């Protein structure tokens, strides 16, 4: 390692040592973030992410001064199509997988078929405990991620192309009327 690099690393570390440690109390903001992390499933998080992206990313593409007007319009249409297609499929696949895991992770009992306990942990005692609910959401999300490796090519890409073409055509028709 060169002496200049060593000096840079030591200087950076000294700078970090000067900064105070962050300490958070149990304020209402911290509680809200903690509760949201436990109560909002990945499907709902995908909706929030999609809504946020839809409000910001097309605006950024529309104001890109480094490209011509036509490229800008197509970029905005493609961005909107990608967000809508990704949010739509991401939400429904995640929600469906979480529901499927819930259906197949029931407590064993005399009237519960064996196949409905495939994803039930062996040491579970209470079906409505917070840990079990989080387990179901996590397992549903993991299964959804595996499913989405295939649906990204089978559903998202064609849907994005279809929506992009529709939005570009609508924009061209609007410009032709002017």
Using CA atoms, how far apart are residues 88 and 158, in angstroms rounded to an integer? Answer: 13
Q: Say yes or no to pLDDT of 1 above 80.
A: no
Least confident of 17-21, 32-36, 67-71: 32-36
Q: Is 117 within 8 Å of 104 (Cβ atoms)?
A: yes
- pLDDT at res. 96: 96
Q: Is the dihedral of CA 113, 116, 120, 126 positive or negative?
A: negative
Q: Is the dihedral of CA 74, 77, 41, 103 positive or negative?
A: negative
pLDDT digits (tens, 9 = 90+) for 161-171: 999 999 999 98
Instruction: Give mean pLDDT, residues 3-28.
Output: 83
Using CA atoms, how far apart are residues 4 and 14, in angstroms rounded to an integer? Answer: 15
DSSP conformation class of 108: P
Identify the residue whose tokens are 């490209």.
67
Q: Is 97 within 8 Å of 140 (Cβ atoms)?
A: yes
pLDDT digits (tens, 9 = 90+) for 98-125: 999 999 988 888 898 989 989 888 877 6
Q: Say yes or no to pLDDT of 26 above 70.
A: no
- Coil vs helix vs strand at 120: coil
Question: What percentage of the chain has pLDDT greater than the value 90?
Answer: 55
Tell me the whole-structure pTM to 2 decimals: 0.75
Strands (E), the chain: none
């Amino acid at each position: 390692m060169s002496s200049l690099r060593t000096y840079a690393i030591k200087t950076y570390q000294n700078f970090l040592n000067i900064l105070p440690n962050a300490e958070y109390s149990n304020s209402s903001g911290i509680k809200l973030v903690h509760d949201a992390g436990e109560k909002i499933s990945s499907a709902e998080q995908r909706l929030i992410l999609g809504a946020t992206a839809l409000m910001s990313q097309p605006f950024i593409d529309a104001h890109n001064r480094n490209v011509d007007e036509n490229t800008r319009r197509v970029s905005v249409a493609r961005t909107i199509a990608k967000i809508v297609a990704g949010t739509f499929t991401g939400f429904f696949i995640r929600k469906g997988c979480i529901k499927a895991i819930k259906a197949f992770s029931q407590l064993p009992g005399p009237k519960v078929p064996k196949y409905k306990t495939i994803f039930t942990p062996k040491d579970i005692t209470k079906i409505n405990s917070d840990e079990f609910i989080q387990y179901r959401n996590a397992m549903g999300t993991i299964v959804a991620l595996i499913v989405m490796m295939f649906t990204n090519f089978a559903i998202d890409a064609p849907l994005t192309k279809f929506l992009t073409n529709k939005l570009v055509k609508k924009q061209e028709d609007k410009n032709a009327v002017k």
